[in-house]
Amino acid sequence: MRYNKVRKTKKKLGLFLVSLAIIILVTLVGVTLFIKDDIQSISGVNKKGSEVTENTANNVPVKALADWKLILVNTENPIPEDYTLETRPLPNGLTFDTRAYDNLIAMLNDGKNEGLTFVVCSAYRTIELQTSLFKAQVAKQQHKGLSDKEAYNVAKTIVALPGTSEHNVGLAVDIVALDYQRLDDGYADTPEAIWLKQNSDKYGFILRYPANKEKTTKIMYEPWHFRYVGTDHALEMNRLNLCLEEYIEYLRDAALAV
């Protein structure tokens, strides 16, 4: 009897210890897995979070550089041969890039509502028209007594070479006043030019060839020439006081710095 009792007690103790060991083991494994899982999920969130931040930062300047609105057209950057565009006629018959059309009309209408009288004297130009304008300018300079080479060099600071004018991509517009239609510096003092300079960025336009950027743009001051770049870029460029060439450099640097 006694032997049996001892055996039973030992057996119970054994079962208890085994159960305890299993419980401890299961608990330990569970806690370990839970902690591990928790660490993984935390690091997963962090990893994901930083990846998202990096991607966003990466993409902002890169995306901007690929934006059609920022196409850089100048002597060094002629229009790509495969460039295509759709234009829409303005009330006076000239045409403008369809994608920027509404912004141009809104700007002109808002100015008109403030008593200004704008005249759009140039918008989209075909390469053929640009060629004839350029040739006419060369002839004008030759007539002033300049040699062929001199006339050519002066002409290209006044009229862009065919294929290197923003007018050829339909995103540039020359706007003067009804009572001041001469394309000279005097236009800058008209209420129309002053209003456009102050407000055009809200409609996505920039004064493309400012007086203080002639060295960079290589185009003389043109208070009448406005270029569509989109509202975000226009506001940012004016805030930073950068012309388009400088703004693109700024974006390239930003893209490389990320």
Q: Quote the least distance from Cβ 235 to Zn ion, whole Å.
A: 21
Q: What are the DSSP E strand ranges found in the chain? A: 87-89, 95-97, 118-122, 172-177, 205-207, 225-228
Rounded to the nearest whole angstrom, what is the least distance from the CB of residue 228 to Zn ion in the complex? 12
The alpha carbon of 79 is separated from its chain's Cα centroid by a whole number of angstroms, namely 18
| Residue 114 Cβ vs Zn ion, minimum distance, rounded to whole Å | 23
Return d(Cα 70, Cα 80) in angstroms, integer: 14
For the CB of residue 160, give the shortest distance to Zn ion in the complex, in Å.
8
Structure tokens at 57: 């930062």
CA gap 244, 216 in Å, rounded: 9
| Catalytic residue of the set 222, 236, 245, 246 | 222
Compute the least distance from the CB of residue 208 to Zn ion, in Å. 8
Q: Which two tokens stand for residue 156?
A: 């290209």
In angstroms, the Cα distances linking 30 to 15, 24, 33, 85 are: 22, 10, 5, 64
Residues forming the site for Zn ion (CB under 5 A): 174, 225
Sheet containing strand 118-122, edge to edge, reads 118-122, 172-177, 225-228, 205-207
Residue 91 beta carbon to Zn ion: minimum distance, rounded to whole angstroms: 19
- Collect all residues with Cβ–Cβ distance below 8 Å to 240 and sequence separation of at least 6: 247, 250
Other CB atoms within 10 Å distance of the CB of residue 254 = 16
Tokens encoding 90: 């303005």
Whether the Cβ atoms of residue 243 and residue 237 lie closer than 8 Å to each other = yes
76 in catalytic set = no
Give the residues across from 228 on adjacent strands.
205
Identity of the residue, 42 or 220, whose beta carbon is nearer to Zn ion in the bound complex = 220
Active site residues: 222
